[in-house]
Amino acid sequence: MLQLQAIRERKDDIAEALKKRNLDAGPILNSALQLDEERRSVQAELDNTLATSNKLSKEIGMLFKSGKAQEANTLKEKTAELKESSKALSEKLNEVSLKLNEILYQIPNVPHPSVPAGNSDEDNEEVFREGDIPELSGDALPHWELAKKYDIIDFELGVKISGAGFPVYKGKGARLQRALIAYFLDKNTQAGYSEIQVPHLVNEASGYGTGQLPDKEGQMYHVGSDNLYLIPTAEVPVTNLFRDTIVDPDEFPIRYTAYTPCFRREAGSYGAHVRGLNRLHQFDKVEIVRVEHPDHSYEALDSMVEHVKGILRELKLPYRILRLCGGDLGFTSALTFDFEVFSTAQDRWLEISSVSNFEAYQSNRLKVRFKDGQKKTQLAHTLNGSALALPRVLAGILENYQTEEGIRIPEVLVPYTGFSIID
């Protein structure tokens, strides 16, 4: 969430920047400042009350020692009144603080100056494109038809077991899926990311820490009995490793990678654009997460973008990179680059990765801090990216690598699959 000091000092600038998100933030920023003033006033009154009470307690002790019991008992009545007053002030402080946090949780991150204005994904800015789009025969099939033809993914069986959006991978389809996971993890670890395995369910504090709550509460699967949430991405548990910690600045850059299944309710539209692997409720993803010194976070973002580029080059998939506009920017992100692979059989671009810098937005919620050279505590910056999400990468491979003989496997994956064609 945004820092209150920043809102106090730069309210008008923040309101102007948030217009890129098509948000009139003036009223909510004013509400936050009013509640902050009330909170600070109550805190000051509470501090004075406690200080007075402590002072009187010392005087009472001295009076009893001096044999002045009557005067001491008179002061004890005053301290009792002060205790009741401090109790009421503490309750009021908690109430105001909760209201203030509720307001702050509703304010999205401030877009980076390079974020273009816009209302939807149609206004995103293409910044890079690479790779040749293959020419397929006239009878080329979309991946859901290829999956059925070669018996490698069974969508109907998934419906039987769980419902739509829960595919069953079979035979060479399962092995290709496993190969992609291993390949992505190897590429990430070779680039300096430490591999980690994390829980697939998180508590409410973790969801609030990275910003999935309350913004995406309806999109997450909730285990009501235990008040736990199935993770929508490894970003949530990995970033929460650093919640309420003071990081040694010598540890920067902190880089982790993790494979996890991801779970998203993804309620929405129907049609060819969400068929097959295009939109799922359960899918596999390999994530990269970084915790950085604020001075180097955008350099780190560029490094992450180049890293994902390298993976797609090795897979020899045609792709493009979009800088997301304000209207399509994630709630917690300051700047996001989306990677899209071209699906020749569907004749459309498929999003396969988002690489984002959250600046101090997440770390302010999480209290991820470090001490600078003057021993002053500062908030770190957090970043994350998909490297990569499997469903649409797999869809792109199946569709772009299809031939009359079968589906060729990208050369870089053959050592992982143990086969070079699905036929």
Sequence ranges of the binding site: 233, 264-266, 287, 351-354, 384
Q: Are the C-beta atoms of 77 and 61 separated by less than 8 Å?
A: no
Q: Which two tokens stand for residue 359?
A: 């600046």
**Helix 26-65 with 69-105: angle, nearest 10 deg:** 160
Cβ neighbours of residue 415 under 8 Å, at least 6 residues apart?
Answer: none
Among 382, 232, 241, 400, which Cα is nearest to 312's? 400
Q: Which two tokens stand for residue 13?
A: 């600038």
Cα separation, 243 vs 382, whole angstroms: 12
The neighbour count for residue 269, using CB atoms within 10 Å, is 7
Cα separation, 67 vs 29, whole angstroms: 57
Binding residues for L-serine are 233, 264, 287, 384
Binding residues for ATP are 264-266, 351-354
Among 168, 188, 165, 186, which Cα is nearest to 177's? 168
- Find the helix or strand (DSSP H, E) in which 180 lies: helix 171-190
Q: Are the C-beta atoms of 256 and 193 separated by less than 8 Å?
A: yes
The whole-angstrom distance between residue 28's C-alpha and the CA centroid of its chain comes to 23
**Helix 171-190 with 297-315: angle, nearest 10 deg:** 140
Dihedral pair phi/psi, residue 65, rounded to 5°: -65, -30
- Complete DSSP assignment for 287-338: EEEEEE-GGGHHHHHHHHHHHHHHHHHHHT--EEEEEPPTTTS-TT-SEEEE
Among 134, 132, 175, 251, which Cα is nearest to 415's? 175
